[in-house]
Amino acid sequence: MRKLIITLVVGVILAAVAIAVFAPGAIRAWAKGQHRTAPRMPTLTTLPAFPKLPTSGWGLSKEQKNAAIQTLVNDKVATYPTNSSRSYRAGKFTSTGIFGGFPPTEDQIARIAPHYDDILFGAARKDFIPRFKKYNPDLTFFIYVDSGLNPGFAQSDAGGVDAENLDWVLQHHSDWILKDKDGGFIRSGASRLGNKGEYWPDPGNPGWQNYFAEKVIKLVRETGGQWTGVLLDQFMGTADGYERYAGAQKQIKYPTDEAFQAAQLQFLKAVAAKIRLPIIVNMEGASIIRRPAFVAEVANVAGGAENEIFPEEMPIEDLRPYLETVQSLPPQIRIRINSKPAGLAGNIDRTLFAYYCYLLIGDRNRNVFWTYKEGTSDVPHYWYREFDLDLGKPKGNIQFGESIWSREFENALVLVNAGKRAGEFRWDALIRYSDVNGTAMQPPLVLKSRTAILLIKNLSILR
């Protein structure tokens, strides 16, 4: 689930981005941000040396802190090409709350905007939309909305839209909130992922459904009506999700996943009919793994779904059903795939593995979008040269081999080994392939566990 988890090892940047747009106060520092290993997989990409940054923000002025974060952002933005490949590349790219905690410069927007197909913003960033569209008129924008009710939130959940806020709900409609066996409200506790103190409404309650739809419609209207749809965050799909994910007490109204999922689908059906915009549901990972068919049910009712555990947290036995589920959806359904392969400094192998897994189901004719985080949603990620290759049109769907999965495009072949052991892939020796560096490849090809490769058929795309 998305929170503004700011993965910055440097205290200066941690301080600079402490204004969270999606989850105020939900700032975490990980100690991995600057570590980078040399790639083992063939690549066209050479990442710039990670900039030297202060190791602590203590004693630095606001201007010095801002300068540090701009140094990091500019390091990332410098890897974005001058010309966009959106008209011919295979992948569609989205964002994960970019610039949520600090404003971009005009030069940064001009460099980044042409490369995205879709952008996620909080309501507070509504003024960024015309600035981004100036450099890419085709961009679409989704507004962030949390599915719960959070103390102190403004324009980030249904209770933060107007005077009929969380306090009003508790005073007049406490029956909308799920309860535990003792009659207490279901609220997030101390959790690595949840927003502490968040209240969790009953998705099957018609009053809550009407209220949620009414407030989201009002939020969309009052922020300029510039949105293509809604990103609904922290959406639980299991009866015990609030316990596991949010550290809450056990809710008793829906004792089984089946009962809870039925209520959630009822909620989505009711609010989608009123909001009349695609709702991209950021689904709890356990619900995706326990019953992949729930992804399709949610996406078809709401208009789309997002997965934030792809593929780095999904073993092969869970990844395959998910890929098959997404592949079976109608092409107009919006799917957002959000990978988290690296810290701030980037990791070529893990990022390319995630991207090649995405290519098994993504192409220009389907609304399947991909993005990845390098530690944080706020800071743009590095741009890889592999993203811009003209792979041509897909020549079919995924082919699931015993250990290697593949998908053929007009100009290339994507191979993925998502398993725990090395695997072998063979092809007709009359078909000539090279890797992305132009090195001729001969069958059979052995792929190590959790690695992937792009085999190039048409060498002209490398030029």
In the chain, the domains with their CATH numbers are 11-388 (3.20.20.70), 405-462 (2.60.40.1180)
Among 53-57, 184-188, 221-225, the least confident range: 53-57
For residue 323, pLDDT over 60 is answered with yes
**Amino acid code (one letter) for 40:** R
For residue 252, pLDDT over 80 is answered with yes
Give all strands (DSSP E) within 68-219, no chain letters.
92-93, 118-121, 140-146
What is the reported pLDDT for 13?
A: 37
- CA-wise closest residue to 169 among 214, 135, 134, 107: 214
Mean pLDDT of 70-99: 95
For residue 29, pLDDT over 60 is answered with no
- Between 313 and 452, the more confident residue is 452
- Between 60 and 300, the more confident residue is 300
For residue 373, pLDDT over 90 is answered with yes
What is the reported pLDDT for 32?
A: 42
Indicate the pLDDT class of residue 56, thresholds 50, 70 and 90.
Answer: low
**Proportion of the chain above pLDDT 90, given as a percent:** 84
3-class state of residue 406 by DSSP: strand
What is the reported pLDDT for 437?
A: 97
What's the whole-model pTM score? Answer: 0.92
Distances in Å between the Cα of 362 and the Cα atoms of 231, 319, 393, 398 are: 20, 15, 11, 10
Indicate the pLDDT class of residue 11, thresholds 50, 70 and 90.
Answer: very low
The two structure tokens encoding residue 149: 């009710």
Mean pLDDT of 230-257: 96
For residue 12, pLDDT over 90 is answered with no
**Residue showing tokens 């602590």:** 56
For residue 16, pLDDT over 90 is answered with no
- Between 60 and 49, the more confident residue is 49
Among 25-34, 219-228, 256-265, the least confident range: 25-34
Rounded CA separation 42/242 (Å): 42
Give all strands (DSSP E) within 240-351, no chain letters.
279-283, 303-307, 334-342
- Residue 331 neighbours by CB distance under 10 Å: 9
Decide: residue 208, CB within 10 A, 0-12 exposed, 13-18 middle, 19+ buried: buried
Rounded CA separation 313/351 (Å): 13
Indicate the pLDDT class of residue 57, thresholds 50, 70 and 90.
Answer: low
For residue 193, pLDDT over 80 is answered with no
What is the reported pLDDT for 34?
A: 65
Q: How would you label 428-457 residue by residue, b for 16+ Cβ within 10 Å and e otherwise?
A: eeeeebbbbeeeebeeebebeebbbbbbbb
**Amino acid code (one letter) for 451:** T
What is the reported pLDDT for 18?
A: 30
Among 191-195, 214-218, 456-460, the least confident range: 191-195
Segments in 156-292 forming alpha helices (H): 166-172, 206-222, 241-246, 257-275, 285-290
For residue 410, pLDDT over 50 is answered with yes
Do residues 417 and 437 lie in contact, with contact meaning Cβ atoms separated by under 8 Å? Answer: no
For residue 321, pLDDT over 60 is answered with yes
What is the reported pLDDT for 4?
A: 33
Indicate the pLDDT class of residue 78, thresholds 50, 70 and 90.
Answer: very high
- CA-wise closest residue to 381 among 49, 69, 80: 80
As a whole number, the mean pLDDT across the chain is 91
Indicate the pLDDT class of residue 33, thresholds 50, 70 and 90.
Answer: low
Mean pLDDT of 78-95: 97
Mean pLDDT of 295-319: 95
Q: Which residues contact 90 (CB under 8 A, 6 or more apart)?
A: 359, 362, 363, 364, 389, 391, 392, 394, 409
